[in-house]
Amino acid sequence: MSDTHAQTVPFVRDTMLPAASPPDRQSGAIRWLRENLFSGPVNTVLTILGALIIWFLVATFWDWFAHSVWNASSLSECREIIAATWGEGARGACFAVIRERWNQYVFGFYPPELYWRPTMTFGLLMVALAPVLFGASLTIRRVVLGITAIVTLAAMMWLGVPAGWLAFTAVVLAFGFLASERNIAWLLPFSIVYPLLGVWFLWGGTLWGPIFVLAGPVLGWLAWRLLGSRAPMLGVVVAALVTILFWLFLAGDAATDAQGLVPLAIEPVRSDRFGGFLLSLTIGVAGIALSLPLGIVLALARRSDMFLIKSLAVMFIEFIRGVPLIALLFVASLLLNYFLPPGTSFDIILRVIIMVTIFAAAYMAEVIRGGLAALPKGQYEAADALGLDYWKAQRLIVLPQALKISIPGIVSTFIGMFKDTTLVTFVGLYDPLKSMSDAVRANIAWKGIYWEPFIFVGAIFFLICFGMSRYSMYLERRLQRDHR
Amino acid sequence: MKKSVFLGTVAAATMIAGMGLAQEGSTLAQVKERDELNCGVNTGLVGFAAPDASGNWTGFDVAYCRALAAAVLGDPNKVRFVPTTGQTRFTALSSGEVDVLARNSTWTFSRDTDLALDFVGVNYYDGQGFMVRKDLGVTSAKELDGATICIQTGTTTELNLADYFRANNMSYTPVNIDSNAEGEQQYMAGACDAYTTDASGLAATRAAFADPENHIILPEIISKEPLGPAVRHGDNNWGDIARWTLNALIAAEEYGVTSRNIEELVRSSNNPEVQRLLGVSDELGAMIGLDAEWARRAILANGNYGEIFAANIGEQTPIGLARGLNAQWTQGGLLYAQPFR
């Protein structure tokens, strides 16, 4: 080493300084605050404003929540308890109404001794959904099915289920678990028959009804097999006709006769006993399950080259989107009664499900059409170049990508539709938000109660919708194929 | 081939439509065959119709449905209560979804004629009133000039309010609300000076307040609201049954027939009117297609009119309505059942 500079430089450091921790202002909570809340004048002002709003809300409503009463038999008793505990003039929430009427918010007027049936139905719904929604991840399936099994069985026991049905549920849940561990595809047949099974569990009556409903499409399929090879178009028409005519004229009588021969019935529950979240979930789940396939078909039809199909799809979508859902519900509840033969009881819930479904399907079609339009033209051409026919190209190349793009929109439509189920209040059905609360308020004991039911029902709606939204984000992440 | 498919579809459609046009038979026969009465009621109105925690319906209108079911089918529990909203109620009746509508509906000219309903009588004489805070210092509706008033939209009350203020040369600012519960909330929050609805509803609302003593119901009743059960035009026999079931309940009170003493009166009463009412003498039931004991069962279902009133909305209940106009004509009210002869 040269010593040329030995006299000119008084000090040369010959060791490295040890790494020091960053200054306080640049680490930990302070740094986070500086970066996220006080990064500039605008941000600082907004932060202070936000804090003030939160403080205002808490300061205004805290005493109301803190003085909640959960144990009372009427609003006046609530008021007495609040006055006795926190002094005259204190205010407080009276959640006792939820404690006393929770069953109606959840099950409507379903016979209390049969509450276990909807519980079982929705427990098994998770099993039926597992291969569809959680087919890819064993861990998630374990968690979902495990929680479902525990909650369903515990709730059913608490609600007083007959031992036979408890065993049946346990067996199905165990089978679901087994299939989930070994091969999730085993559950698919269960998923396919589940809709009919669910209808039977909820409405009761004879099992032969669903069996003969199922027999309709089977007969139609047979007719199609017989004719389809010679005249495909006629085959489809005849198959549809056979199915519909069988449903209209034979299925009912056949079910009655079969029931006479081999009784397979559980206690029937009429549609007017449905209400609360049972009604919302029934309409919501059915609407979601039906509107997605219908929406896909409509979206494809709208992009079709065939003039008639395309114009019919455009007319249907634009008409349904141009009409408010309430108008459709009124048509379902009022107008149809004039057109149907007197005495025919076309179930009101079924009518509402149909209307909600076609309403959601029209929106769904546009969301999916957006996905289809976003797909590069090269994908369609590549499918053609591979020699795939139309349906194969759609199924293998186009739709998987288009649906992936559309996931946020699809789930938004689902969430919107689920919340729209509360509109059935206008046709005299007991939705949890308004009708059920009004019915509870119509009892003099709870007249005058206002916010508590809204908060309770709103919280449950939030949980369900938030769950759907999180699921859609999970799905987006899982299906992400591009590298960012 | 295409043509035959098309023709087949047309034939099927015609067939289904033809079934739709098939004339319905008499309502009485339908009810008897169904063994159940479909009764349209309110989705929930304090004192008049409300389901309890286990889904059983009770109330003033509900009691009428049960009496009718008892008269026709022999069992007050053979009723299916069909909750109807303000929008769906009349369509539900005219489309045949319900056999009778007992849903606190006001009997008006246009409803009776244009909507093709038949009101069979009046089971409650109501009228529109006002409620205000006591510290407002108002003692008469005539002093409400310039007030903000909470009013339910789409009801006759809205029109009555406009009529009343126009007739008295006063102005008001309406605060539109959607339901009774919302009206109470707005009124309590001070969004309006006065709350107006049917007087029976006002009484129930006031009774549910935390501080009922700080609110008064003004003495003016600004409209006539005769509430009554209704049936469809065109089936007069069914209308007769509905009308005379209501009359039987009212007449029973007039003659002192109650659910407690009815069995005794059947055996021992020598009042010819009571004998005819209870089917001891004459055969009035046969004239409307029922048996002789129809009225006896109707009265036994929930008691006579007075008992029904007392049990659901009377002064002993929290709602605490006085009989007022709804007293018997002998007591200075308007209830007047036509003679059973």
Domain ranges, ordered by start, for chain B: 27-125+227-331, 128-223
Structure tokens belonging to residue A108: 């409507």
In this prediction, residue A480 carries a pLDDT of 78
User: Whole-angstrom distance between the N-terminal and C-terminal Cα of chain A?
Assistant: 50
- Distance between CA atoms of residues A204 and A120, nearest Å: 13
Q: What is the pLDDT of residue A459?
A: 95
Query: How many domains is chain A built from?
Result: 1
Q: Is residue A95 part of a domain?
A: no
Q: Could you please state the CATH topology (level 3) that the domain comprising B27-125+227-331 is classified under.
A: D-Maltodextrin-Binding Protein; domain 2 (3.40.190)
For the cut 60, the answer to whether the pLDDT of residue A237 exceeds it is yes
- B318 to chain A, any CB pair closer than 8 A? The answer is yes
Q: Is the pLDDT of residue B12 over 50?
A: no
Distance from the Cα of A263 to chain B's closest Cα (Å) equals 23
Supply A109's token pair: 């007027």
CB contact under 8 A, B44 and A434: no
What tokens were used for A335? Answer: 């107008």
| Number of other residues whose CB lies within 10 A of the CB of residue A314 | 14
pLDDT value of position B126: 92
Q: Is the pLDDT of residue B11 over 80?
A: no
Q: Note the pLDDT of residue A341.
A: 66
Residues whose CB is less than 8 angstroms from the CB of residue B99 and which lie 6 or more positions away in sequence, other chains included:
B27, B30, B31, B37, B38, B39, B231, B238
Phi-psi category of residue B59: left, alpha or beta, with phi > 0 → left and psi -120 to 50 → alpha: left
Contact A428 B91 (CB under 8 A): no
Alpha-carbon gap: B202 to the closest alpha carbon of chain A (Å) = 12
B320-338 pLDDT per residue, tens = 889 989 999 999 999 999 9
- DSSP for residue B125: E
Domain that holds residue A368: 274-479
Q: How confident is the model at residue A7, as a pLDDT?
A: 65
Handedness of CA A331, A334, A339, A342 (dihedral sign): positive
pLDDT digits over A399-442, tens only? 999 998 899 999 999 999 999 999 998 888 899 998 899 899 88
Q: How confident is the model over B43-69, as pLDDT tens digits? A: 888 899 998 888 889 999 999 999 999
Range B212-216 average pLDDT: 90
Which CATH number is A342's domain given? 1.10.3720.10
Question: Which region among A150-159, A213-222, B101-110, B267-276 has the lowest average model confidence (pLDDT)?
Answer: A213-222
Q: From chain B, pick out residues whose CB is under 8 angstroms from the CB of A324.
A: none
Q: What band does A208 get if pLDDT is binned at 50, 70 and 90?
A: confident
- What pLDDT digit, counting tens, does each position of A270-281 carry? 888 899 999 999
Residue B125's pLDDT is what? 94
Report yes or no: A234 at the B interface, CB cutoff 8 Å: yes
Q: Select the more confidently predicted residue: A408 or A344.
A: A408
Share of chain B above pLDDT 90, in %: 60
| pTM of the entire predicted model | 0.84
Q: How confident is the model at residue B1 (pLDDT cuts 50, 70, 90)?
A: very low
Domains B27-125+227-331 and B128-223 share a fold: yes
pLDDT at B312: 93
In a domain, A385, yes or no: yes
Residue A4's pLDDT band, with cuts at 50, 70 and 90, is low
Nearest Cβ partner for A447 among B1, B19, B208: B208
The class (CATH top level) of B128-223 is alpha beta
What average pLDDT score do residues B92-101 get? 90
Report the distance separating Cα A23 and Cα A36, nearest Å: 18
Question: Best residue in A334, A351, A447 to probe B by mutation, most B CBs within 10 Å?
Answer: A447
SS3 label, residue B148: strand
pLDDT at A345: 65
Q: How far apart are the first and last CA of chain B?
A: 69
ipTM value: 0.81
Shortest Cα–Cα distance, B180 to chain A (Å): 9
Is residue A184 situated within a structural domain?
Answer: no
